[in-house]
Amino acid sequence: MIDVTTQNVFEKSIEVSAFFSPIVGLVAALIMSRVTMNFGKGVIAKGFTFVTIGILFIASSMLFDAFVKYYEVLDAWVRLMREVLLLVGMYVIVAGAKYVHDELEKMRK
């Protein structure tokens, strides 16, 4: 007999929803990469490419985290890998924003 309680259903729904956001992030990165091809090679296109790559890393980190929580893996290297993916994704986005800002400032002068 399957034990269906409110707590059990709530926990399972949280576990399932943990997989939705990274998958949506990966799909968004895929869509953004296709849109980037239409921009050409300008400054904004370069910045959009940086953001796309950053989102890809962050979504990978979130997906990695969902698998870790689902399979209850507690190894230190697994946590380190997740943090590295997240950190690289954020760094790429910030570096891309800085690049676009600097290039637009050069064009303005």
Q: Is residue 1 part of a domain?
A: no
Parent domain of 64:
6-108
Question: How far, CA to CA in Å, does 91 sit from each of 54, 101, 104?
Answer: 7, 15, 20
Q: Is residue 89 part of a domain?
A: yes
Top-confidence residue, 53 or 109? 53
Q: Is residue 88 part of a domain?
A: yes
Structural domain count, the chain: 1
Confidence at 85, pLDDT banded by 50, 70, 90? very high
Q: Is residue 13 part of a domain?
A: yes
The single residue listed with the structure tokens 């576990």 is: 15
Q: Is residue 102 part of a domain?
A: yes
pLDDT, tens only, 26-84: 888 888 877 766 666 777 888 888 888 999 999 999 888 888 877 777 788 888 888 99
Copy the structure tokens of residue 29. 């990165």
Confidence at 86, pLDDT banded by 50, 70, 90? very high
Question: How far, CA to CA in Å, does 27 sit from each of 32, 52, 103?
Answer: 8, 11, 29
* End-to-end alpha carbon distance in the chain: 73
102/104 Cα distance (integer angstroms)? 5
